[in-house]
Copies of this chain bind each other. A is one copy, B any other.
Amino acid sequence: MMKVTVLYEHPDDTGAFEDYYANTHLPIAAKMQGLAKIELTRFVAGPDGKPAFYRMAELYFDSPEQMQTTLASPEFQATAGDLPNFATGGFKVVFGSIDG
């Protein structure tokens, strides 16, 4: 299984981020086809205090071919293109292969 992981840095305004994320970004993301699963994580303070990242989104695909098909789609491009509209702290996108 493959996945695309988006790591969001802490935004300038978490309220504005959450509002845009829930009401604008996720509806755009929901138009993507070919995903096996999406997992959304909000990080919380740990023993070391403020977490290293603010949020993470993980997009799962059943195969590398399916991932490539989705990445090439206009719906994925629209989703990725929307990131700078609200991820004011910056973000990292990493592509991965799940073991086992």
Contact = CB atoms under 8 A, between A and B. Distances in A.
A54 to B, nearest CB: 10
A40 B98 contact: yes
A48 B71 CA distance: 14
A57 to B, nearest CB: 9
Contacts of A51: 94-96
Given A52-B7, A56-B5, A95 B40 contact: no
Contact of A43 (B39, B43, B95, B100): B95
B97 A42 contact: yes
Contact of A97 (B44, B52, B93): B44
B95 A42 contact: no
